[in-house]
Amino acid sequence: MRIKLINPNTTRRMTDAMGRCAREVAAPGTEVIAVNPTMGPPSIEGYYDEALATPGLLAEVAAGERDGYDGYVIACFGDPGLYAARELARGPVIGIAEAAMHAASVLAPGFSVVTTLARTCGMAWHLAERYGMKRFCRNVRATDVAVLELDKPGSAARRLILDECRRALDEDGAEAIVLGCAGMVELCAELEDALGAPVIEGVTAAVKWTEALVALRLATAKRGDYARPLAKRYDGALASFSPGGPEPVAEPLGGLVAEQGY
């Protein structure tokens, strides 16, 4: 099977790290291709960033449908564009916050999310509610580390994150940690060793969850909200995103994307 892992920001080195980690956990026979859009924000740290990351993400899903992918992972902890992506895709589309919270909820009575900037904590709480995971979520904690600091050599980020995880276990009574940023994908094992408690990282969790659903031959429901977008002609600069009806959003978008040097 082929899973398309989409990092919705434009930072290639984060995409590459995610791809490496994803491939390490994939089962034999599962191919994971990690991509990112070339348009939009280099990091997603608020609702505005998220809104502008979504068109690029959706273009990748539309392209993925043309290329026959079996499932998709949206690799940003805000799970941007998740429902819109489900409208486009035949196979499963999983957000990394969704997968990580599901995993944490079956391994521990409760978890805390440790994320980057305080301004994204509200988002994480909203996702926890939306996915039914609020009852398991003891706290959402910010480290005030910027997303792009995470993999800089010599950065204090790792220390700050480890300390915050410790506080989550001690002060929140959390029994597991969910890492609240796709950029933390490579810290997972190191943190788990240091903490002696499950540390769940969403990119790998979502890859495995997607792989499982594809193996079960399960697909996105096409009744109701996730039905294919109604065919219509979009206007202006976004005309190439026009959904084509029964067929996937295909030729127009392909043309458009090309036109944008995409």
65-104 residues in contact with its own copies (CB under 8 A) are 81, 83-84, 86-88, 92-94, 98, 102-103
Q: Given the complex with its own copies, which of 160 and 169 has the nearer CB atom?
A: 169
Does residue 119 touch its own copies according to CB under 8 A? yes
Q: Given the complex with its own copies, which of 161 and 203 has the nearer CB atom?
A: 203
- Residue pair 18/203 in contact (Cβ under 8 Å)? The answer is yes
Q: Given the complex with its own copies, which of 101 and 161 has the nearer CB atom?
A: 101
Does residue 208 touch its own copies according to CB under 8 A? yes
| Residues of this chain, 131-160, that bind its own copies according to CB under 8 A | 131-136
Q: How many residues bind its own copies (CB under 8 A)?
A: 99
Distance CA 204, CA 213 (A): 14
Does residue 260 touch its own copies according to CB under 8 A? yes
Q: Sign of torsion, CA 252 12 57 65?
A: positive
Alpha-carbon separation of residue 32 from 56, 201, 214 (angstroms): 19, 17, 13
Instruction: Say which amino acid occupies 64.
Output: G
**Segment lying near its own copies (by CB under 8 A), choices 120-128, 149-157, 159-167, 178-186:** 120-128
Tokens describing residue 36: 């990112």
| Residues of this chain, 171-200, that bind its own copies according to CB under 8 A | 173, 175-176, 189, 197-198, 200
Alpha-carbon separation of residue 108 from 98, 104, 113, 172, 173 (angstroms): 16, 6, 13, 13, 11
Instruction: Say which amino acid occupies 222.
Output: K
- Residue pair 114/94 in contact (Cβ under 8 Å)? The answer is no
Does residue 262 touch its own copies according to CB under 8 A? yes
| Residues of this chain, 18-57, that bind its own copies according to CB under 8 A | 25, 27-29, 37-43, 45-52, 54-56
Query: Burial level of 230, CB count in 10 A (0-12/13-18/19+)?
Result: exposed
**Segment lying near its own copies (by CB under 8 A), choices 154-162, 178-186, 209-217:** 209-217
Q: Given the complex with its own copies, which of 38 and 155 has the nearer CB atom?
A: 38
